[in-house]
Structure 1
Amino acid sequence: METALYGPDGFYVRAGGAGPAGHFRTSVHASPLYAGAVARLLLWVDEALGRPDRLDLVDVGAGRAELLTGVLAALPAGVAARVRPYAVERAARPEGLDGRIAWVPEPPSGTTGLLFANEWLDNVPLDVAEDGRYVLVGEDGTETAGGVLPEADRVWLDRWWPGQGRAEIGRSRDEAWAAAVATLSRGLAVAVDYAHLAGARPEWGTLTGFRGGREVPAVPDGSCDVTAHVAMDACAAAGACATGDGAADSPEPVLLTQREALAALGVSGARPPLALASADPAAYVRALASAGEAAELTARGGLGDFLWLAQPVRLAAPWP
């Protein structure tokens, strides 16, 4: 999975052109309302931090920096002038990108502000297990039984995905998230992804592939995105441990659906009042289009069911 996604000919390294947006649709690509909501979250973090001279915004798994670009455009000029945006991405920096955006391969350490990871953890490579052994997948999609699981993976499964059958070992995601959270000196770390929680793990896992807007077999040959849902409660526990000596100053992390999170950040799919259609038809059409985009972002059975993990680091509150 690591080689298929991030090797020399890996999907995310050689995607080129529009990048991941050319293969699947995320909340970032669905509507500018999403970037506006993240901008409002950053403003809340800024206030909670006491408006520091430097406000860091770290986008992990930034794609082509579409989210950062949208957030910068949505911020008040005075705040935008204090923001230091970082795009964390393994692919090459896109041509013509805003010069304010630093392009880095991993989150910078010692940041103060907001670390945001939209659909990043699902692409952190993991192993698949079945009945106590690894599942190996060849480049032609053929599966074979691998070796017996070592103790560290057995311990993770016993705690987070007990029982027989197929499971996806999320220990690598826990470690990646904990490392990202640990780069924050003070602020808020947020992970957004399709995810599951203990007691509702999918019986046969979620590993799949995407290419050209379609779901395809998860063949690790670099031709498609290889992805699996995130055990978000396990990541939350790992991230809480990563706050280190400041744990006493950090509230417990919170888990929200995207529907709940965006509602708190002012995104509503409510239809505009019909009276507006008579008073200002153009404004009504714009409001109606915005409501439609908001409805997609918050839809049950779709993007609205994504989970948001909000992990505070030496911050008085975990969420607005």
Structure 2
Amino acid sequence: MRAALYGSDGFFVRDHAGPARHFRTSVHASPLFAGAMARLIERVDDGLGGPAAFDLVDVGAGRGELLTTLLPMLPGGLRERVRPVAVELAPRPPGLDPRISWRREIPADITGLLVATEWLDNVPIDVVETDEDGELRKVLVDRHTGVETLGGPADAADRFWLRRWWPGPGRIEIGWPRDAAWAEAVSSVRRGAALCVDYGHRRAERPPLGTLTGYREGRQVTPVPDGSCDVTAHVAVDSAATAAGHPYKMISQRKALRALGIDGARPPLDLARTDPAAYLRALAAAGSAAELIDPDGLGAHWWLWHEIDVSIRDTMTP
């Protein structure tokens, strides 16, 4: 999985068009998502007392779409103080706003906001499966065909994690690498907040057959790890939340975006009579908002929120 996604010919580094060509995230769906992030940034900035420099770090930045859309939405005074950083293994895309710093590693001593939108689901993991004798064995996969076989027994670290976080037999996606990645990311925030937005599940709702899948050209495909497609699995969000070592809030994207002013409500019909053009614009915005908060789609994402050495008002309170 690591080679397929991040190797020299991996999925996230080989395609100049970036992930947007293959799958649709909240960032790609509508600028309303960036607008909600802008309002959240203002709240974090208020909580920090308006620091001279506000670090805005986007982990798994794709081709910089979120930062590019978001920066012009910030109020002037805050926009001048923001230091935008895109963390991504792919090369810096041509034409990117020169204000955006591009790097492969998460910076240390962040004062501001770290956000990771659909990043943890692409942190490589192992999969184990219960064999006919009830033993947990690693799932091996042919890199070119995607054909799976059972290999050796699960590692001690895998067993330790699953005893707490993934009860019962079946096909298990080992989550501790994501826990470690998220804990390291959150530890880089000295003061401020960290936000993870991703598909996920909690202990009582683990899928017995797992969630590992692939995406290519906008379609769900067999997750063949040859670099030609995205290989992804949902995140054990409760495990990641606990591993970060800070208090957290965890709610659905639907509830979070509604708390930030995105409700998907249709504009009043009176507007169609008095200002038809404005009505059509508002109707289009309502459609975009509905996609972002769809409980069977992007609205089902989890928002995992940590505040570090700061208290932030009205954060994602429905």
Q: How would you bin the TM-score normalised by the shorter chain? A: over 0.9
Partner in structure 2 of residue 173 of structure 1:
178
Q: In the alignment, what sits opposite 1:29? A: 28
Cα offset, 1:317, TM superposition:
4.1
Matches of 2:67 and 2:151, distance apart in 1: 41
Runs of 4+ residues deviating >3 angstroms: none
- SS of the counterpart of 1:12? helix
Q: 2:281 aligns with which of 248, 269, 286?
A: 286
| Counterpart pick for 1:255 among 241, 250, 253 | 250
Identity fraction in percent: 60
Aligned ranges 1:270-309 → 2 under 5 Å = 270-309=265-304
Output the TM-score relative to the length of structure 2. Answer: 0.95
Aligned residues: 309
SS in 1 for 2:14: coil
Measured in 1, the distance between the counterparts of 2:255 and 2:275 equals 30
For 2:115, the aligned partner's letter is: F
Q: Write the mapping of 1:91-170 to structure 2, written as runs, cut at 5 A.
A: 91-131=90-130, 132-139=136-143, 140-170=145-175
Q: 1:52: which partner in 2?
A: 51
SS at match of 1:268: coil
- Please report the TM-score for the alignment, with normalisation by the length of structure 1: 0.95
From 188, 197, 206, the counterpart of 2:202: 197
Q: Quick check: 190-199 or 272-281, which moved more? A: 272-281
> Is 2:83 the counterpart of 1:84?
yes
Query: Using the alignment, how far apart are the partners of 2:105 and 2:251 within structure 1?
Result: 26
Deviations 1:200-238 (A, max 9, x none): 000100000000000110111111000000000000001
Q: Distance in 2 between matches of 1:80 and 1:157?
A: 44
Measured after TM superposition, the shift of residue 308 of structure 1 is: 0.4
Q: Deviations over 1:219-265 (max 9, x none)?
A: 111110000000000000011x2x5xxxxxxxx20111000010111
* 1:112 CA displacement: 0.5
Give the unaligned 5+ runs of structure 2: 131-135
Counterpart residue identity of residue 10, structure 2: G
Residue 282 of structure 1 deviates from its aligned partner by 1.1
Deviation at 1:76, TM superposition (A): 1.0
Which residue does 1:2 correspond to in 2? 2
How big is each residue's C-alpha offset from its partner over 1:181-209, in whole Å with a ceiling of 9 and x where there is no partner? 00000111000011111110001000000
Which residue in the other structure is 1:247 paired with?
none
Q: Following TM superposition, by how much is the alpha carbon of 1:107 offset from its aligned partner in structure 2, in angstroms? A: 1.0
CA distance in 2, matches of 1:136, 1:162: 22
In 2, the alpha carbon distance for the partners of 1:57 and 1:108 equals: 10
CA distance in 1, matches of 2:266, 2:140: 49
**Aligned equivalents of 2:264, 2:139: Cα separation in 1:** 43
Letter in 1 for 2:269: L
* 1:125 alignment partner, SS class: coil
Write the distance in 1 (CA, Å) between the matches of 2:114 and 2:79. 16
Secondary structure class of the residue paired with 1:223: coil
Greater mean deviation of Cα atoms: 210-219 or 310-319: 310-319
Report how far residue 163 of structure 1 moved. 1.3
Shift of 1:274: 1.1
Q: Give yes or no for contact 2:43–2:312 (8 Å, CA) kept in 1.
A: no
Q: For the Cα contact (< 8 Å) 2:169–2:208, is it kept in 1?
A: no
